[in-house]
Homo-oligomer: A and B are copies of this chain.
Amino acid sequence: MSIKVESANVSINDEYLKAERERAAHAYKDLQTGDIHMTGWVSLPDEISDEKLDAINAAADRIKADSDYLIVVGIGGSFLGACSVIDMLDKGRGVKVLFAGHGFDPVELDETLKEAEGGDYSCCVISKSGGTAEIISTFGIVRERMLERYGREETAKRTYVITGADGYLSDLAKAEGMITFGIPDDIGGRYSVFTDGGLLPIAAAGIDIKALIGGAKKARKEDFDAEDSFDYAIMRQLLNEGTASQDGTEKTAEIYEFYDRKLVMFGEWLKQLFGESEGKEGKGIIPMSLLFSRDLHSMGQFLQQGSPIFYETMIRQEEDPEADFTVPDFVPQPFAGMKLSRIERSMETGVTNAHVSAGTPVITIYFNKLDEDSVGEMLYWFKVQCAVSVLLLGVDPFNQPGVEAYKSEMRKAL
């Protein structure tokens, strides 16, 4: 098992912890029976066939052969999953993946199109309903540019449609003969990183999707059968209800903290996973994320002495980074002659000690390193922890009844 969880300033009564561990093990069992709706993602890593992965890799190879860029038009889970994996694992072995459609900003779209048009490009459009406003507006604009440049037949060959069985995108793909992939009905956007919509962009970036799925399989096999497997899921709920913090305060915010810029979008993915799974019925812990040491020089004061309404969840990597520098000898002590990575590690230790001394609950989650195996494991591990944690709260982790409100107000305003 390569994911390790430590905690400080979290105190739970032994009896209570035992009972919660039993409830968590039950919740995990329930996830696997198929009795809960929208749990297709639970067994997906073991059920996805080699043929399916080969088909995705074949489409990715075609993109790599005829394109320098892939414009992915997706939003929410159809953006954050692939984007966070690519940020963590991209080694430049595939095409450059550009993300569009996660908003209506014309200036950003203009820049994206200009970059793609500096070479050859393909487009992958992802929308389950086929009607998401940002997606069909943006995809329309991209498609118009492709039609001008490549003509109708070639545009169809360069367009990869990932959508549900019906709707505008499905109809268009059929009419034009575009390569189509599906989105399972029983997997929601925030749990969809291992579906076609996540895997095709990841494979096009040159990342080994079989190894990524392998990491998820390993998590499923090894990470959830110990007595303390769900302690992260349990601690966050008890911190929220105020029974696990030493001062008895209810912790209303969870701060995910990273030490590597490559994990920033993974932080956004975690925010969607937990925020959208848990934030309903007037409940939920509000998720935030920070990048250290950068944000210690802005939010460090608040973390050390501000209102104690939060706990911290640090995500730390065990292996050292691939590049390194030695600080030159002409720099003052104690830094002269030191590896940058060693100073960084001391900063990690220093931050933990300082925040623990301040009495803040600090949960630390260690992963091995930024490779397909560890990242696949981590994504799956967090999905399970999230679902179990939200089930412990007594909330449905798999619906999102509030997301239509602004869309219907927006249509009124149009």
Contacts and interface: CB of A to CB of B under 8 A. Distances in A.
Interface residues of A, number: 113
A174 interface: no
Interface of A is mostly: helix
Contacts of A279: 299, 301-303, 305-307
A226 B27 CA distance: 57
Given A282-B306, A299-B271, A301-B279, A350 B137 contact: no
Contacts of A413: 345-347, 349-350, 353
B331 A137 contact: yes
A34 interface: no
How many copies of this protein are present in the complex? Answer: 2
A183 to B, nearest CB: 15
A280 B301 contact: yes
A62 interface: no
Contact of A351 (B131, B253, B409, B412): B409
A260 interface: yes
A402 B304 contact: yes
B301 A410 contact: no
Interface of A: 75-77, 79-80, 102-110, 131, 133-134, 136-137, 139-141, 143-144, 168, 189-190, 252-253, 259-262, 268, 271-272, 275-276, 278-288, 291-310, 321-325, 327-328, 330-332, 334-336, 338, 340-347, 349-351, 353-355, 357-358, 400-403, 405-414
8 contacts: A106-B324, A252-B307, A253-B253, A282-B306, A284-B302, A284-B306, A350-B413, A353-B412
